[in-house]
Amino acid sequence: MSEVTREQIDTVLQGIQERYLEKDLVAANMVKDVEIKGDTVFVHIEQNYPSGGYRDELADEIKAKLEAESGIAKAEVTIEQKIAAHTVQKSLKRIEGIKNIIAVASGKGGVGKSTTSVNIALALAADGASVGMLDADIYGPSQPRMLGISGQPQSDDGKTLEPMMNYDIKAMSIGFLVEEDTPMIWRGPMVTQALEQLLNDTNWGELDYLIVDLPPGTGDTQLTLSQKIPVSGAVIVTTPQDIALLDARKGLKMFEKVEVPVLGVVENMSIHICSECGHAEHIFGEGGGKRMADESDVDYLGALPLDYTICQQADEGRPTVVADPDSKNTELYKEISRKMSARLASKGKDYSTKFPNIVIQNT
């Protein structure tokens, strides 16, 4: 048998498409090491987003194709998950320990943004990432209930807060600090200051992703986040309804103006399937989220159904991804979270921590 070359191995790897990055392995810069020893090739792949079960599927595909097409007898494939920090707004610096902050926004209320946020966060965690959740809705915090967390956060030093924890998610919300039925009768500056404190005075530790569940609209809170909080990317949640799409477009344009990349659009409540007869109906219209994504030249991350169980599970403090991990709905949330994190992985990386500090001394 003639000796197999690195070029032959690369040719096979170029023929393997990475599902979520939508590039071949070589073009995606995922091949970190190739070693040929006799009739065995050892390939080390680096995946820069959490992909859960797809990682093993991809490893099996690489192994099978190398053994079938490269002329090698045996292939050993390892895939390492290595999530990088990505660039934020030019005027801001990344928060120590938090690699990426992703804002989940909607132009209008009632589109299921908080339910989508928590399930995306749980999907990222299920796929192997370290994840936090910041509930930025000061007037109507819903994450404490959705995450099934009660009680108040502790402060070991009297200055900073320890995040609350459930389902491997670190969480912080104004809802942990006030009674559930207490209204927050605050003006804009108090709200934005509270949001900054919740972010900066929480001991988040090391996080791959901090998901920020924004309140609806394009007002003070959203502007504060885009001007003072280092965000790596944003996701827009909408329904197919024209009135929701109008407001969702405003949110998308706001992020574009403040130089926060929009990672994609999620269409929630896209279709309703009757639990009695199985009839499918587009109650809020059809395809609006996809059209909006196409018109705005951003990615369409996926559609979620109008399903009573999703709402019920969130209200009970056990969102779909943890309540029913093998369900079709959970798979939809995982597809959306993988597409979202893969889009972020293709953006510019933050190398600021790699640069040395220059210190000038008089000697």
Quick check: 347 and 298 in contact, CB under 8 A? no
Tokens of 238: 């909408």
What's the pLDDT score for residue 1? Answer: 45
Half-sphere exposure of 223 (CA within 13 A, CB side): 6
Say if residue 120 is in the same domain as residue 12. Answer: no
- 127 and 34 part of one domain: no
Torsion of CA 214, 217, 219, 220, to 10 degrees: -20
The confidence score (pLDDT) of residue 361 equals 55
Do 127 and 10 share a domain, yes or no?
no
- Same domain, yes or no, for 132 and 75? no
CATH number reported for the structural domain that contains residue 295 in this entry: 3.40.50.300
Same domain, 73 and 214: no
Considering the domain architecture, whether residues 76 and 130 belong to the same structural domain is answered as no
185's CB contacts (< 8 A; 6+ apart) are: none
Max Cα–Cα distance, the chain, nearest Å: 84
Do 19 and 109 sit in the same domain of this protein?
no
Phi first, then psi, for residue 319 (nearest 5°) are -55, 160
In sequence order, what are the residues at sequence separation of 6 or more whose Cβ sits closer than 8 angstroms to the Cβ of residue 294? Answer: 300
The annotated binding site for ATP is made up of 107-114
Which residue ranges make up the annotated binding site? 107-114
H or E, element range at 322: helix 320-323
Tell me, yes or no, whether 236 lies in a domain: yes
Q: What count of other Cβ atoms lies within 10 Å of the Cβ of residue 57?
A: 12
Q: In terms of residue numbers, what domain contains 52?
A: 6-81
Name beta bridge partners: 269: none
CATH code, domain with 54: 3.30.300.130
DSSP label at residue 202: B
DSSP state, residue 2: P
Distance between first and last Cα of the chain:
67
Bridge partners, 169 (sequence order): 131, 166
129 and 218 co-located in one domain:
yes
Angle, CA of 354, 357 and 360, to the nearest 5°: 160
Q: Give the span between the Cα atoms of 234 and 222, in whole angstroms.
A: 11
Please count the CA atoms within 13 angstroms of the CA of 267 that sit on its side-chain side: 25
Q: How many CA atoms does the CB half-sphere of 141 hold within 13 Å?
A: 31
Q: Give domain status of residue 42, yes or no.
A: yes
pLDDT at 355: 47
pTM: predicted TM-score of the whole model, two decimal places:
0.88
Query: Are 250 and 322 contained in the same domain?
Result: yes
Q: Is residue 354 part of a domain?
A: no
| Total structural domains within the chain | 2
| Residue 72: inside a domain | yes
C-alpha to C-alpha distances, 206 to 33, 85, 309, nearest whole angstrom: 27, 12, 33
Residue 190 lies in a domain: no
Task: Tell which phi-psi region holds residue 263, choosing left (phi > 0), alpha (psi between -120 and 50) or beta.
Answer: alpha
Q: Are the CB atoms for 235 and 214 separated by under 8 Å?
A: no
Residue 23 within a domain: yes
Instruction: Indicate if 256 and 332 belong to the same structural domain.
Output: yes
Tens of each residue's pLDDT in the chain, 363 residues: 457 788 889 999 999 999 999 999 999 999 999 898 888 899 999 999 999 999 999 999 999 999 888 778 888 999 999 999 998 888 888 889 999 999 998 866 667 889 999 999 999 999 999 999 998 877 767 898 999 998 888 888 888 889 999 999 999 988 887 766 665 565 666 777 778 888 888 999 999 999 999 887 666 677 777 778 899 999 988 877 666 667 677 777 788 777 788 899 898 777 666 666 665 666 555 666 777 787 777 888 988 887 888 888 998 999 999 999 999 999 999 999 999 999 999 887 766 655 455 555 554
Residues 210 and 331 reside in one and the same domain: yes
Domain membership flag for residue 361? no
Q: CA separation (Å) from 166 to 118, 131, 316? A: 12, 11, 14
My answer on whether 109 and 216 are in the same domain is yes
pLDDT for 293: 80
Please report whether residue 200 resides in a domain.
Answer: no
